[in-house]
Amino acid sequence: MRTALIAGVTGQDGSYLADLLLAKGYQVHGIIRRASTLTTQRVDHIYEDPHNPDVRFRLHYGDLTDGTGLRRILEMVRPDEVYNLAAQSHVRVSFDQPEYTADVVATGALRLLEAIRDYVDGGERQVRYFQASSSEMYGTTPPPQNETSRFHPRSPYAASKVAAYWYTVNYREAYGLYAVNGILFNHESPRRGETFVTRKITRAVGRIKLGLQDKLYLGNLDARRDWGFAGDYVDAMWRMLQAEKPADFVVASGESRSVREFLEAAFGYADLDWQKYVEIDPRYFRPAEVDDLRGDASRLEREMGWKPVVGFTELVRMMVDSDLELARQEQTLKNAGHDITGSG
Ligand code: NDP
Ligand code: GDR
């Protein structure tokens, strides 16, 4: 049985990847951060009692800012594959917390690579490493962006991802590690964090439709993104670690749409006119914006046969349907007299 270690298992991608690897028969270990409230909602459906000796999904406390802990986890889990999906992944927030973002996103990847390097050097078995790199690294470089396009990061997050990208390449070249970058364009799902623009929109559609909310405040509606489905992107991650030779690949749908177009699609699917509800709040503008991302994933298709399955319209519908259901549940609670604002 193959063993995988996922840093960032409680995130959107980590949870889909855990689903995929368990379905493929892997033993899956995930790293979770200690928090005062539970953060395991996205993996609750696969959680098993750790007292059961046959359990195939286990969680370990750790943090990318704590190298000693990462080393200990690596030695205990003895993985064949390590997926680094952990990050302070919000671009806007990285302008507010640049040092922390760099520590987790850039130095965090380095800590993990260092731990793997020593583990492999110690005569332990081979480990394959996947780094979740980002289309944000391209910044101002015009589309279509592929593996040879120039990086021009526009945020502390993106600059940190560029550093992590090069650490990964360097450990491959310097130490012969099987270490690869997936240059992931935006990918979304019903499990997407609620402060990213797609989910913020579909959450609002659900709540507006059921009368639980009357306004949606957004920033720049002109930005264009290449939006795919997270379930398809974790499949690309896994494929990249199965190849004979390590290499870096763009993972993208090849289509781009503006935030305005996403609004039209999501509100339109629920028979709502977005213009009646959306207001611009400059708080959501970024000090430097990335205007136009559209990836060219032809190398990944050619060499690994990967193509996205879920298209834009299906993705929007999947997210709106899920958030309409969530809003119905909220409404039921509200009707039963529960406080749904979370303010206690
Ligand atoms: P999420 O923000 O949903 O998940 C991030 C994960 O990282 C969470 O499990 C989070 O834990 C964990 N994490 C955050 N800080 C630390 C830390 N200091 N130590 C350990 N774990 C930490 O991101 P996604 O699932 O969307 O993205 C996965 C990865 O792919 C990220 O690296 C992201 O930057 C990258 N990426 C994502 C894209 C996308 O469109 N989704 C596109 C390109 C790259 P907790 O639950 O406790 O917060
Ligand atoms: P992004 O995703 O920055 O591309 O990073 P996000 O959904 O945050 O923004 C996409 C675009 O929408 C514009 N926008 C808003 N964004 C947010 N979050 N909230 C708003 O109210 C809003 N209004 C307009 C933004 O300005 C931007 O242009 C995501 C993350 O998952 C990263 O971790 C990942 O690396 C990249 O995708 C690829």
Summarised one tens digit per residue, pLDDT across range 192-225 is: 999 999 999 999 999 999 999 999 999 999 999 9
What number is the average pLDDT over the span 246-250?
98
Q: Is 129 annotated as a binding residue?
A: yes
Our CA angle for 54, 56, 62, nearest 5°, is: 125
Determine contact, residues 42/73, Cβ cutoff 8 Å: no
Does the C-beta of 70 come closer than 6 Å to ligand 1?
Answer: no
Q: Which two tokens stand for residue 159?
A: 């600059």
Q: Is-same-fold flag (3-190+228-251; 197-223+255-293+311-335)?
A: no
Cα 11 to middle of ligand 1, angstroms:
5
Does the C-beta of 63 come closer than 6 Å to ligand 1?
Answer: yes
CB 21: neighbour CB atoms within 10 A? 23
Name which CATH class applies to 197-223+255-293+311-335.
alpha beta
In this prediction, residue 124 carries a pLDDT of 62
The ligand 2 site (C-beta within 6 Å) comprises 89, 91-92, 134-136, 185-186, 195-197, 200, 218-220, 223, 225, 259, 284, 286, 289
Q: Which of 26, 119, 138, 157 is catalytic?
A: 157
How, if at all, do strands 224-225 and 228-229 pair? unpaired
Confidence of residue 340 (pLDDT cuts 50, 70, 90): confident
Per-chain mean pLDDT for the chain: 96
Task: Say whether pLDDT at 23 is over 70.
Answer: yes
Our CA angle for 126, 129, 134, nearest 5°, is: 170
In this prediction, residue 344 carries a pLDDT of 46
What is residue 108's three-state secondary structure? helix
Q: Looking up tokens 């050097």, which residue turns up? A: 121
Q: Which two tokens stand for residue 258?
A: 């503006």
| Distance (Å, whole) CA 294 – CA 109 | 26
* Residue with CA closest to ligand 1 atom 4: 11
Task: Say whether pLDDT at 181 is over 60.
Answer: yes
* Residue with CA closest to ligand 1 atom 46: 10
Domain ranges of the chain: 3-190+228-251, 197-223+255-293+311-335
Q: 117-174 pLDDT, tens per residue?
A: 999 987 767 999 999 999 999 999 999 999 999 999 999 999 999 999 999 999 999 9
H or E element at residue 260: helix 259-269
What number is the average pLDDT over the span 169-190?
98
In this prediction, residue 59 carries a pLDDT of 97
Cα 264 to middle of ligand 1, angstroms:
28
Q: Which of 89, 94, 135, 136 is catalytic?
A: 136
CATH of 3-190+228-251, one of 3.40.50.720, 3.10.20.440, 3.40.50.1820, 3.40.50.10320: 3.40.50.720
Q: 62-77 pLDDT, tens per residue?
A: 999 999 999 999 999 9
